[in-house]
Every structure is written in structure tokens, then in C-alpha cells.
Amino acid sequence: MENGPPVFDKPKVELHVHLDGSIKPETILQIGKKRKIGLPADTVEGLLQQVSYNEPLCLTEFLAKFSLYMPAIAGDREAVKRIAYEFVEMKAKEGVIYVEVRYSPHLLANCKVNPIPWGQKKGDLTPDEVVNLVNQGLKAGEEAFNIKARSILCCMRHMPSWSPEVVELCKKYRNDSVVAIDLAGDELINAETYSEHRRAYEEAERCGIHRTVHAGEAGPPQVIKEAIHILKAERIGHGYHVLEDDSLYKQLLKQNMHFEVCPWSSYLTGACKNSFADHPVVRFMKDGANYSLNTDDPLIFNSTIHTDYKIAKDSMGFTEQEFQRVNINAAKSSFLPEQEKKELLSKLYSAYGILKSTEF
Ligand SMILES: [Zn+2]
């Protein structure tokens, strides 16, 4: 999608990107072939034509994209480890030096998960082992490509029965790549009604597990309120529709709440229907809000982090200085322990030529 050199070719931090939406098409084809699982095409171009898109689709059509290729990946040990490793490689090439990648362990499993996703036959890969394999892939990637990668485990709004295990996995693997819990899926499914989500988040808070929630992407400001007050979210995934509630927006600005913004994604999912010049992140920028720029699902949006930065520069008026501020805020709002956060920040300050005394 992008042409020419990257608009911000400096170290970056990415906080909102889905592992299952960031798989290399070559890998899908190879694993599909190995496992004899049918795919909609047998070339990279053919697969991308089916899986990715560049004009807005509705949520159902967007979600249908995953079911085109996830049957090839889910339930396969080699595939799960490999996509994590290749994800780190992909991000290193984009100049990302710290990334938090998220996924639902249940959606990659084929055992001890009900229902078994993607029409798979029952196998022997459990959600617990999925997390273990992803951790191994991330760690191997960190060593090979010299960047830092951590993970966030997702609860799915339509599957409250999975949430108790998600928080237990966060606890089990908290010293091993996993830094937080997330809630993803259709926002119109109210989390308050499903006490399993709420209880999982309460347990996360009790145990000091960090919390982010997809809220206000397509849904109304009420979903953001619920994320903050009921689920005790420390960051908001997307959050664009906060602008429809002025007092909530002012309160979150004051609290320095972090919004994980995904510009190209927000266009393609129809979350933001205005032109890029009138995108909520333009307001966030003008108001000095705390937010980051992220890809969300680069396979499906046929994008890289440079796509989002290019949109921000060309269509939203972002400056080099704002890109620096965005990444510094992302580092400050990352779910790393304080000492590691300081180390990450000092890497950014030195790469940007900023003296700490003049930091944003
Ligand atoms: Zn997302």
C-alpha cells in the first residue's frame, strides 16, 4: 500500500496488534499444504486477494476473513510457534523496538476449548500449550531480531465461558512474556451482563495483571465507561467514539488515559466514517491526548506500521515531533515493569536526540 521510504524511520513502539491478524501469507500456504487443509487460493497474491481488502466492510464480513485461513493455523504446534517468531521478525523490519502482541489462546487451540473453533476436529493442543508455544516463538524472535516482544491474552466478548481460563493463563505466564488481559470482539455484547468477563478482570486487577479493553471502536461511549469503571481498564483499544461524550472525553484527558489508535483499521472496519482529516485521532493530537499508532490486523488490511504513519503524515498533518511524542507516550503506557519501561524510554530519547530534561 505504501510507496517510497517510511515517513518515520526511527524506533517505534506498537501496543495494539493481533497475532492472528499478522500472519505471513506464505506461512499460511505452507502450513495449509503440510496439513492438507483447503485454502481459498494457492498463491500469495491469490490468498491476499481473498483475505485482505482495501474498502470498508461490515464486522461480519471482516470476521469472515479469519475463517478463510485460521483453519490452516489453529491446532498446529509448529504453526503457532512459527507465527509468533515471524511476527517478531516482521516488526523488527518495520523498526518497532517494543511490541505488545495480542491473541485469544482459545482461537488457536483444538482441545479443552468449547466450542472447538474454525470447524476443526478435536486434537490435543490446549489453550495453555498455545500460550507456551507463542512465548517460545516470541522469545526466539527476540533473540534473533534484537527487539522486545510481550503478549496480551484476549477474552472474547461472545465467549464469556473462556474468560476465567484467560485470566488464569495471564497469571501462570506473567513472568514469561504475558503482560496483560484484553477483551475483544463485538462491542455490542455488553460485558456487564456477562459476569465471567467482569470476574476475570477483577481477578486480573487483584493479581496486578494489566488491563486493556477494545471499547468505543464501533461501540458508543457507554462501552468505554464500562471498560473503565467495571473492568478497570488502564488503556482503551481504539476509543474513537469517546468524542461523542464530551464530559467522558475531558475526564479521560485529565486522567491521561491511553488510546490505542489504529488509523487504517478504523477506516476499513467502518469504525470511523469521516475523512482522515476529521478522524478522532486528529482531535487527540490537537488536545495533546495520550495515544499510540498501531496496525491492528496488518494481514487483513494488507498494511505495515508505515501505512498508518503515512496516513497520519499525509492526511492528518502529523509532524516528526508528534510521531516522537506518540512513541514516547506508547512506551510510557506500555505494560512493561517500571525498570524496563525506563530502559525503553531512554532508547527512544537517544534515537530521537532528545535530552531527558526536555522530554515531553
Ligand atoms: Zn484490535
* Sign of the alpha-carbon dihedral angle for 323, 141, 133, 306: positive
Per-residue H/E/C for 176-225: CCEEEEEEECCCCCCCCCCHHHHHHHHHHHHHCCEEEEEECCCCCHHHHH
From the CA of 214, how far away is ligand 1's center (Å)? 7
- Whether residue 281 contacts residue 16, with contact meaning beta carbons closer than 8 Å, is answered with no
pLDDT beyond 60 at 347: yes
Three-class SS of residue 36? coil
Residues with CB under 5 A from ligand 1 (ion): 296
Q: Which helix (H) or strand (E) holds 315?
A: helix 305-316
Q: Give the Cα separation of 360 and 345 in Å (integer).
A: 11
From the CA of 356, how far away is ligand 1's center (Å)? 32
pLDDT-above-70 percentage for the chain:
97
C-alpha cell at 93: 523490519
From the CA of 9, how far away is ligand 1's center (Å)? 24
**pLDDT tens for each residue of 139-185:** 999 999 999 999 999 999 999 999 999 999 999 999 899 999 999 99
Which single residue is written with the C-alpha cell 462501552? 223
* Sign of the alpha-carbon dihedral angle for 233, 234, 235, 239: positive
**pLDDT tens for each residue of 64-106:** 999 999 999 999 999 999 999 999 999 999 999 999 999 999 9
Q: Is position 86 annotated as part of the catalytic site?
A: no
From the CA of 297, how far away is ligand 1's center (Å)? 7
From the CA of 177, how far away is ligand 1's center (Å)? 19
- Whether residue 220 contacts residue 244, with contact meaning beta carbons closer than 8 Å, is answered with yes
Active-site pick, 217, 226, 260, 322: 217
Query: What is the pTM (predicted TM-score) of this model?
Result: 0.96
Residues in the chain: 360
